[in-house]
Amino acid sequence: MALLTLQGISKRYQQGELEVNALSDINLTVEEGEFAALVGPSGSGKTTLLNIIGGLDSPTQGTTKLNGIDITTLKEAQLSDFRLFQLGFVFQSYNLVPVLSALENVELVMVLQGKNKNECHDRAKHYLELVGLKDIIHRRPAALSGGQQQRVAVARALAAGPRLVLADEPTANLDSENATALLDIMHTLSHEEKTTFIFSTHDPRVMDRAERIITLQDGKIVSDERHHHEHKA
């Protein structure tokens, strides 16, 4: 069974007198462990699609099934529970809690999941080490660079053990070195932990690493290609 199945997803917005079709009849299947990029020009519907997959926005029509559950039918409380346990989010704005250290930011989602304190601590430390932040786990976000904050966000998403990680332009604010390092980390984890990743991106560096590129234009999927390339060292 596919991890994610979208059937007939459409999203319409009212803009004044105008009705805008953000997405039109999207059908998409994503298997476990895929490393996929949603690409397309601004306004093509990438972020809307990502938000619908993550249950942050609901479609006008169609169904989103994740891990066998139709999330379009869930009530708000069930949905937030579902997001907490099944999904990881990495946004370009990082969304870190300013008063918490990097370690506490990563622990937070696991605390909400009800994991015990020691497990939260150990997993948070482990993932912060994996993303290369071993020496600065006690710093608050304000004392971290953009690249470091983005790594904290990735560690936070992954430490919670999600089935699917959604990343909206995760490399937008990063220089080449940081972007490449971050992509390497995510790529390795997708293979080692069978975590599925879906990115929305404009970034050629992300497209270069993606194993599947789904191109959107005017709210429709215009191409869907798989790339099997050896991971570059």
**Boundaries of every domain in the chain:** 32-59+76-226
Greatest mean pLDDT among 110-119, 170-179, 206-215: 110-119
Per-residue pLDDT at 229: 56
Tell me how crowded residue 227 is: count the other CB atoms within 10 A of its CB. Answer: 13
The contacts of residue 69 (CB under 8 Å, 6+ apart) are 82
CATH of domain 32-59+76-226: 3.40.50.300
The pairing of beta strand 164-168 with beta strand 196-201: parallel
- Residue 233's pLDDT band (cuts 50, 70, 90): very low
Residue % of the chain over a pLDDT of 70: 97
Q: Are 180 and 231 in contact (CB under 8 A)?
A: no
Model-level pTM?
Answer: 0.89
Give the 3-state secondary structure of residue 227. Answer: coil
Express each pLDDT in 17-48 by its tens digit. 888 889 999 999 999 999 999 999 888 899 89
